[in-house]
A and B are shown apart, each in its own frame.
Chain A
Amino acid sequence: MDSATTVDVAVLGAGPAGLSAAAAAAEHGRSVAVFDEGEAPGGRLVGQLHRERDGRWKVGRDEAERLRDRALGAGATIVAGVSAWAVEPGWSVYLRGDGAAPRVCHARALVVATGAGELAAPLPGWTLPGAITPGAAQVLVNVHGVLPGRRALIAGTDALGLEAAQLLEVVGASVVGVHPVAGVDGAAEPPAAALRRLVGTVGAAAPSPLLRAGGRLARGRVVARAAVPLLPRRVAGVPLRLREAVTALRGDGRVEEAELAAVGADGRLGEARRTVAIDLACVGGGLRPLVELLAGSGCELVALPGLGGVVPLHGPDQQTTAPRAFVAGGVTGVEGAAVCAAQGTVAGLAAALAAGAPPAVRRELAPARARVARRRAEATVRFHPELEPARARMRTMWEARCASA
């Protein structure tokens, strides 16, 4: 089928950022279409589950439903099950899907909110069936209701790996350990450095169990500086094993065992190997912004490791270097869902203005921007310890770009 549609604002991605952008733009009288390749809106939020400090659970899918209802209530159209494969300045969005969805969408303003994706770690055997990402474990368990294995090993010691470990234990799997991944150079991250990095990823407000654990890690901060740090055996109820790295996954047609080696204080691996029987491995190499769609857009991209890698150069109103193109959420730097949603509101307001909303809407931008800062300060988890310096660097780069333009 060949069909086109025209709207004021096209939003790519229906995660917390995209849904918030759509709601903000639609609430100001713009016609809005949101496109997402998932079967239902919500993005990565639908798989998330966090325990608050008071023991209550914060359920991502409930929050996703609220955001969806707000966007729909404001009059936005959400089209699920279609992938955007290119954008052309002007703006035209090219789409692919099975159903009767349009093939191209023309829009005055564009909001790209494609989120973040998981990176693989270079671990021999990571391609075996039964080796999945930590994010996949969240989705399979919390969205699809399938326990992907009974005895799991987590390879990769970051926030997402700890989340996956905790979740698997909550639903009755046993987690043999959360281990660092051995590098191709035959070394792993030194345990003390890993501990310092984990402490750095705990946000200021830290309510969830991971984060209570983070608090415990933080109290161990002094200890972590010692040559032979005192490492906690269990963090947030899951066995964190910074002194033993995974060197390979093996099995006949599926993951059946993991091979482990001791990690010395300098990160070097010992000679001996031990194996542990498992039927599931969650292998995580961190998160990175999904910027591919911006390739042909004319938006300038910059590399800032603190934000997760290559991100669009963008300003305080989520504007990019391309006219009437805005970005929000994980695509601008990996952060939690609440920050992403707040950025989405800013992008939606700015896109509405760019697409002809009354100038009075401008007054709403400052409070919306302030909400982003507030959400960031309240964040319970930081995906990179250098997040704040990287955000500051982005501001400097944007100002320099504006001064020279």
Chain B
Amino acid sequence: MSGPERIERHPVLGEVGGRGEPVRFSFDGRPLGGRAGEPVGVALLAAGIRALRRSRAGEPRGIHCAIGQCMECRVEIDGLGTRRACLTPLRDGMVVRTHRDPGSADG
């Protein structure tokens, strides 16, 4: 089991996903690569990172609905604040961090 990965060629659709420029960004200080314009959460998933925030009790949470409805994918983005990772387009140099609710167990 190798976890999430990019689909290089979709058997039906051919090219899928962001065709944006390769960009660099960071998550909790870790340098990562992604494609400009794809959702931040997608770039993180492709890098094998699924836990995006901690619940109040300190449990990890990640992408659940992928379409902006469940709010489980919240991350902190420098200059933007708290954002849904499944919707927010990735930009070069973004500094992204795990979201913690104020007063959460490990916050």
Question: Which A residues lie at the B interface, using CB under 8 A?
Answer: 37-39, 44, 49, 57, 59, 61, 81, 98, 117-118, 120, 127-133, 135-136, 139-151, 170-172, 253-254, 277, 279, 290
A142-B10, A144-B17 are contacts. A128–B66 as well, Cβ < 8 Å? no
Q: How far is the CB of B79 from chain A (nearest CB, A)?
A: 11
Contact (Cβ within 8 A) A130 B50: yes
Contact (Cβ within 8 A) A130 B62: yes
Cβ contacts under 8 Å, B65 to chain A: 117-118, 132-133, 135-136
In whole angstroms, what is the CA distance A171 to B5 when docked?
11
Contact (Cβ within 8 A) A131 B64: yes
In whole angstroms, what is the CA distance A13 to B16 when docked?
23
Cβ contacts under 8 Å, A148 to chain B: 4, 45, 63
Contact (Cβ within 8 A) A132 B66: yes
Asked whether any CB of chain A lies closer than 8 Å to the CB of B55, the reply is yes
Contact (Cβ within 8 A) A129 B61: yes
Cβ contacts under 8 Å, A147 to chain B: 4-7
Cβ contacts under 8 Å, A117 to chain B: 65, 69
Asked whether any CB of chain A lies closer than 8 Å to the CB of B68, the reply is yes
Question: Which B residues lie at the A interface, using CB under 8 A?
Answer: 1-7, 10-13, 15-18, 38-39, 42, 45-46, 50-52, 55, 59-69, 72, 80, 87, 89
Cβ contacts under 8 Å, A143 to chain B: 16-17
Contact (Cβ within 8 A) B46 A171: no
Contact (Cβ within 8 A) B64 A132: yes
Contact (Cβ within 8 A) A150 B3: yes
Contact (Cβ within 8 A) B12 A129: no
A141-B10, A148-B45 are contacts. A38–B17 as well, Cβ < 8 Å? no
Cβ contacts under 8 Å, B51 to chain A: 129, 253-254
A136-B64, A144-B18 are contacts. A170–B3 as well, Cβ < 8 Å? no
Cβ contacts under 8 Å, A49 to chain B: 12-13
Residue of B nearest to A133 (CB): B65
Residue of A nearest to B37 (CB): A39
Q: How far is the CB of B52 from chain A (nearest CB, A)?
A: 8
* 21 residue pairs A–B, Cβ–Cβ below 8 Å: A38-B87, A39-B89, A44-B67, A81-B87, A117-B69, A127-B61, A136-B63, A136-B65, A136-B66, A140-B42, A141-B7, A142-B10, A144-B16, A144-B17, A144-B42, A145-B6, A145-B17, A148-B45, A171-B10, A254-B60, A279-B1
In whole angstroms, what is the CA distance A118 to B61 when docked?
18
In whole angstroms, what is the CA distance A49 to B13 when docked?
9
Given contacts A39-B89, A277-B1, 17 further A-B contacts (CB under 8 A): A37-B87, A39-B87, A44-B67, A57-B12, A118-B65, A129-B62, A139-B67, A140-B45, A140-B66, A143-B16, A146-B7, A146-B17, A148-B45, A150-B3, A171-B11, A279-B3, A290-B69
